[in-house]
Amino acid sequence: MKKEAILVAGGAGYIGSHAVKALRQSSFLPVIFDNFSTGHREFITGFDYVEGDLGDPKKLNATFESYRFSAVMHFASHCYVGESWENPYKYYHDNVVNALNLLKTMLDHDVACLVFSSTCAIYGNPVTLPMAEDHPQVPVNPYGESKLFIEKILRDFSQVYDLRYVALRYFNAAGADPDLQFGEYHDPETHLIPRAFDAVTGRLPELEVYGEDYPTPDGTCLRDYIHVTDLADAHILALEHLLQGRPSAAYNLGTGTGISVRQIIETIESVTHRKVRTAIAPRRAGDPAELVADPSKVMRELGWQPNHSSVEEIIRTAWSWHKLKFKH
Ligand SMILES: NC(=O)c1ccc[n+]([C@@H]2O[C@H](COP(=O)([O-])OP(=O)(O)OC[C@H]3O[C@@H](n4cnc5c(N)ncnc54)[C@H](O)[C@@H]3O)[C@@H](O)[C@H]2O)c1
């Protein structure tokens, strides 16, 4: 039987690469579309891929003419909160226009199903905790705004055109492929766990801890860390939901448990048997004390479970991959 082809925009990136592997394991044919701006060529070995930019409608059109896609997964965007304040034009322009280009090409080629990488940043500061999908949507940075715009475009398009979508609102993606094929590697790295590894190995002089006077049990911020393998599983469930003809939806992807910066550091020290050198820095503007998902909707409707997201498994897989990647 011919495999169903799925376009994976941003499939050479951290989360996209894990989804590509999960697609193949679920007997789909993933086709990566990536400009390698933050993605990695070593992540695409053995997979079909097209080197292209979502800002290039001709390339997108040619790709859709080469394959008959059943659906699209869209991971490709700029995703640094800090950078989105330095260069809001880049975030509003590229994230939104590129999504529109992709949607237009889908509609032109009668591809009706999209799984979209959204984020908890669309909610802004928590009004209630844990945060459910109907939490107020008041982003506090251009990155979150750009993602919320795209969700609004999807909602409106799905009313008018033959398009159904699942928006997956990730909390903090973390961990690495258990077979160590892929892992987290951004440049610059802004995420806590890889930065803490860099402080362990001396690639960074020390890890800055932004605030230890929050109203949390140990004074440091609480975040909801979700293993990238669990994210990839959710993408397969969302895809199958759409391919079965079921309706558009938005789902949180998190565990429902807040883990503090201090807990992450302690777990890293216990897994690596090394000290994380830290420096206490002032709070960062816009960092809430706690961001925790209510994931009950995706569990109920898609049968998703975070099976790999204990803090130990996250740190163990991430550390194994980091050691392999940076050879220490
Ligand atoms: N990492 C997280 O914790 C997190 C949390 C919430 C949401 N997200 C979202 O998940 C998605 C993936 O995040 P990630 O951490 O894997 O990022 P990443 O930077 O590792 O991956 C993005 C991929 O998209 C590609 N890309 C970017 N712009 C492109 C363009 N114009 N044309 C073609 N390819 C392009 C990059 O080369 C890269 O391979 C993003 O949309 C991000 O906003 C990530």
| Residue 290 pLDDT | 97
d(CA 201, CA 183): 17
Cα-based angle 236, 45, 34 (whole degrees, multiple of 5): 65
Q: What is the pLDDT of residues 84-127, one digit of tens each?
A: 999 999 999 999 999 999 999 999 999 999 999 999 999 999 99
Q: Is the dihedral of CA 94, 100, 103, 107 positive or negative?
A: negative
Q: How far apart are CA 238 and CA 249, in angstroms?
A: 9
CA of 275 to the centre of ligand 1 (A): 31
The CA distance from 290 to 60, in Å, is 40
pLDDT of amino acid 188: 85
Could you identify the atom of ligand 1 that is nearest to the CA of residue 17? 16
Q: Which residues of the chain have pLDDT under 70?
A: 1, 328
Sign of CA dihedral 150, 290, 304, 30: positive
CA of 74 to the centre of ligand 1 (A): 9
Reduce the DSSP state of residue 17 to 3 states and report it: helix
| Catalytic member of 14, 91, 123, 143 | 143
What separation in Å is there between the alpha carbon of 161 and the centre of ligand 1?
26
265 CB-near residues (< 8 Å, 6+ apart): 196, 207, 209, 276, 278
Rounded Cα–Cα distance for residues 227 and 176 (Å) = 7
- Please report the pLDDT score of residue 328 as a whole number: 67
Ligand 1 site-directed mutation target among 8, 21, 32, 37, most atoms within 8 Å of CB: 37
Q: Structural domains in the chain?
A: 5-173+226-253 (3.40.50.720), 192-224+256-326 (3.90.25.10)
Atom number, ligand 1, closest to the C-alpha of residue 173:
3
Say how many Å lie between the first and final Cα of the chain, rounded: 45
143 is catalytic: yes
Which mutation among 34, 148, 228 tests ligand 1's pocket best, with the greatest number of atoms within 8 A of CB?
Answer: 34
Distance 10 CA to ligand 1 centre (A): 6
